[in-house]
């Protein structure tokens, strides 16, 4: 019984413990790349995207089209880099909620339908990234380590013209 518990519970937990850096990196690369390209495409086709927003009944489409396109592009870029990950994931999550409500809500006839939308799957990843954070392989983690080592104190002294001793 002990051997079975080791192979079914303890060993997978130990292996997963060595790969905690991989899950957020994989999630960020996956959705970051998708939304970087999506935002880029929308930014270069604003007229058509604006017409789509009008057709879906999105308020203020001429204002929101470039805004949402920029959120997708820069949010995707930032997720790829792991920079401002929680903010980017939160903003993209809101975009997904609005996209479901505006463009897909009429098609929802069951929980299964709602959960089957790509937008809902992206939303799940964005919620996870917003809560779990970017992981160790990210600009955010590097900035956090720099800040904790006293980088912020050095920057403040440099701003005030004090010697960096």
pLDDT in tens, 64-98: 999 999 999 999 999 999 999 999 999 999 999 99
Within-domain flag for 110 = yes
Q: Phi and psi for 43 in degrees, rounded to 5?
A: -65, -30
Residues of the chain with pLDDT under 70: 151-156, 158, 161-165
The pLDDT assigned to 154 comes to 67
Q: For the chain, how many structural domains are there in total?
A: 1
Q: Is 84 left (phi over 0), alpha (psi -120 to 50) or beta?
A: left
Within-domain flag for 103 = yes
Report, in angstroms and rounded to the nearest whole number, the Rg of the chain calculated over CA atoms. 21
DSSP H helices in 44-149: 46-56, 61-81, 85-99, 111-116, 118-132, 139-146
Is the Cα dihedral 40, 21, 86, 111 positive or negative?
Answer: positive
Q: Which of 31, 60, 66, 75 minimizes the C-alpha distance to 48?
A: 66
Enter the pTM of the model. 0.85
Containing domain of residue 30, as a range? 21-135
- Residues 104 and 116: their CA atoms lie apart, in Å, by 11
Within-domain flag for 74 = yes
Within-domain flag for 16 = no
Which of helix, strand or coil describes residue 162? Answer: coil
Within-domain flag for 147 = no
The pLDDT assigned to 131 comes to 97
Q: Which of 138, 149, 150 minimizes the C-alpha distance to 22?
A: 138
Within-domain flag for 155 = no
Q: Which of 67, 119, 77 minimizes the C-alpha distance to 98?
A: 119
């Amino acid at each position: 019984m002990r051997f079975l518990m080791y192979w079914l519970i303890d060993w997978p937990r130990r292996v997963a413990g060595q790969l905690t850096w991989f899950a957020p990196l994989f999630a960020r690369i996956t959705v970051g790349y998708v939304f970087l390209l999506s935002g880029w495409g929308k930014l270069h086709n604003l007229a058509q995207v604006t017409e789509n927003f009008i057709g879906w009944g999105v308020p203020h489409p001429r204002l929101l089209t470039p805004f949402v396109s920029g959120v997708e592009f820069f949010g995707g870029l930032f997720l790829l880099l792991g920079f401002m990950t929680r903010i980017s994931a939160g903003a993209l999550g809101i975009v997904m909620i609005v996209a479901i409500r505006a463009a897909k809500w009429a098609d929802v006839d069951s929980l299964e339908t709602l959960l089957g939308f790509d937008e809902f799957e992206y939303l799940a990843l964005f919620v996870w990234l917003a809560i779990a954070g970017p992981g160790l392989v990210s600009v955010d983690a590097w900035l956090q380590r720099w800040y904790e080592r006293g980088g912020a104190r050095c920057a403040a002294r440099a701003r005030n013209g004090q010697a960096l001793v």
